[in-house]
Structure formats: C-alpha cells, structure tokens
Amino acid sequence: MASSSASSAAATPAEPLRRNRVLSSKLYLDVPGSKAPVVYSPAYDIAFLGIEKLHPFDSSKWGRICKFLTKEGHLEKNRVVEPLEASKEDLLVVHSESYLNSLKSSLKVASIVEVPPVALIPNWLVQQKLLYPFRKQVGGSILSAKLALERGWAINIGGGFHHCSAEEGGGFCAYADISLCIQFAFVRLNISRVMIIDLDAHQGNGHEKDFANDGRVYTLDIYNAGIYPFDHVAKQYIDQKVELLSGTKTDDYLDQLDNALKVAQNRFQPQLIVYNAGTDILDGDPLGRLKISPEGVVIRDEKVFRFAKDQNTPLLMLTSGGYMKSSARVIADSIINLSKKNLIDLGSQLG
C-alpha cells in the first residue's frame, strides 16, 4: 500500500532468503528479440475429465485467445514466448511452506477452485491437471515483468490470480502470481515503485493483503462492491478504490476509469504497471454483474495502455477473470486493437 510508510520495504529476517530464492530462479528466461512479449503455453488450458465445466470459468479461454490471434494472422505462433513452470522454491518467494503443503489436500484445492467434486480426486491428479497449469501461468506472469521492462509492454495470456495471497487461496486462485511477479521485479529488475491497476469486476483482495504495508506498491482497484469477496480487511489497504454498483453501464464505467487514472497519475509515479485486465465486467457475465459492452472492454484496455505509454512506464497485462465463452474473442479483439493503435507491436503484417 503506497500511502503507508516505505520503511516497511526494509529487510526483514526472511528477506535474504527471499532474495536468494529470486536470484537462483530459472524463470527469468533470456527471450530473443525475434519473439513478441506475448507469453502463453498450451499447458495453461485445463481439461480435467469434464470437471472443469462445473465452474463458470472458461478453462480453455487462454488457448482460444491465442488461436484467434495466430489463426487470423495477427501474431505468428513461433513468436509466442513459452514460460517455465514456477517451482516450489519460486512459490516460496511469497507463499509459506504450510500454505503450499495445504494444496496437497484435494479437499483444500476443491474449496479454492470452488468445484466440490475435486475433493474426491487423488491429489497427484489434481496437481497434474489443475495446479500444474496454474504454476505455468505463474511462471508466465513472473517472466512478463522482465519482458515489460525490456520491451515496454508484455501480455501474459493467463494469470491474474488476484484473490490469492501468501497464506490463502480462493475464488479459483491457488497461487499469488501478482505478488510473486512484483517481488521478483523488486529483486531482479532494480525497481522500487509498482502500480497495480486491477480492473477485474472483483476486488483484488489477495495482492492487497500481501502489500498491505508496503509503500513500494500503489493499488488502484475498480470493482463491483456488491459481489465476492467482500473482504473488508483487504479494502483498507487499497490506495485508491472505486466501488461500482451492480448494473454499471459502459459510459459511466469509462468516465469513472478516466477520473481514476488522472488521480493515480498525480499520486504515484511507477516504474512498472501491473494491469489485471479481467473481462468479467462484460454485460451478461454471471459473476461480475456489470453491463460493459465488448467495445467498452476494448476501450478500457486502450485507455490503460495509453496511460502507461504517456508516462513512458512499462506495463504488463494479465487476463484474469471472465466467465463467458465470449471473453476470449473480446480479449483477442482488444489485443488486435492495441496493435492497430500502435500501443503494442505484434510484429506481423496484419498487426
């Protein structure tokens, strides 16, 4: 929380160990210039005996986004960056050993991903079919911060598990990829000021708790206050919150975003922006309960990328929540629009 004293960023007894873990990690791959700073792996997608269909989240969303971009000629397949899986040592940079051990219980994982039948499945299978895809996405989020600093922008077609904190998962979020990518960036990228712009329909209570007293991180969170997670403890750690009513429409939403970005620009000058770009704000989303049009999402993303470009600040985008089949098409269209507006360069003839 940026309005807190920055002294909280000072080393604690755990800090040298965290630093060593970050420095010894293999996740910061050297990515050749021939690749675009777009991160994705087919391993992101979850296919789990049909059980994944018991949650409203479209667990093949990530692959479908990539397919739209590549099949339509906006991004060459061989230019996509494949991340490594986050290892246990990587995850321990933020998570406690006890939390990671708790994921060895299928019952615990079932409660986090909100799919009760997962509790009945052997944990080795839960690890392979559910948690491994999540760990690959975490690796993608962490690598995206490095790419953003190198290229000016990066998109992880996945990640954005903003309900997970160091000690607690929930809301389909088992690992705290946002907190992890920022902690890695502090150590490896020599930065000390990060802004989180969380525009998923839900409050980003996970990262808010993790950076509760950390003056290096400024959080702007625009969310529907009438839906999950109702985390009143985490709310007090938000530097700048905009609480929306269910049913908020596109024009009103975009006006509130414009005003919020102006305030944020005056309050905090980041060296990196982490943009959590959930599409559960779409009209018809069963969980987000807002009424933003597909065009409104495209304009929203363009505004955030322009905000970063105007300040010459590197930005990484995570796709986060979005519970309708139409989300993948909207995200792909938004990325195509960013390319057409020269806010990103996908490096293709059509881009």
The tokens of 242 are what? 């905009």
Q: State the catalytic residue, choosing from 74, 95, 162, 163.
A: 163
Instruction: Work out the number of other CB atoms within 10 angstroms of the CB of residue 101.
Output: 11
- Residue labelled with tokens 């210039």: 33
**8 A C-beta contact, residue 346 and residue 332:** no
Please say if 55 is a catalytic residue: no
Which 3-state string (H, E, C) describes the chain? CCCCCHHHHCCCCCHHHHHHHHHHCCCCCCCCCCCCCEECCHHHCCCCCCHHHHCCCCCCHHHHHHHHHHHCCCCCHHHCECCCCCCHHHHCCCCCHHHHHHCCCHHHHHHHHCCHHHHHCCHHHHHHHHHHHHHHHHHHHHHHHHHHHHHCEEEECCCCCCCCCCCCCECCECCCHHHHHHHHHHHHCCCCCEEEEECCCCCCHHHHHHCCCCCCEEEEEEEECCCCCCCHHHHCCCCEEEEECCCCEHHHHHHHHHHHHHHHHHHCCCCEEEEECCCCCECCCCCCCCEECHHHHHHHHHHHHHHHHHCCCCEEEECCCCCCCCHHHHHHHHHHHHHHCCCCCCCCCCC
Dist CA 255 CA 268 (whole Å) = 20
Catalytically active residues, by annotation: 163
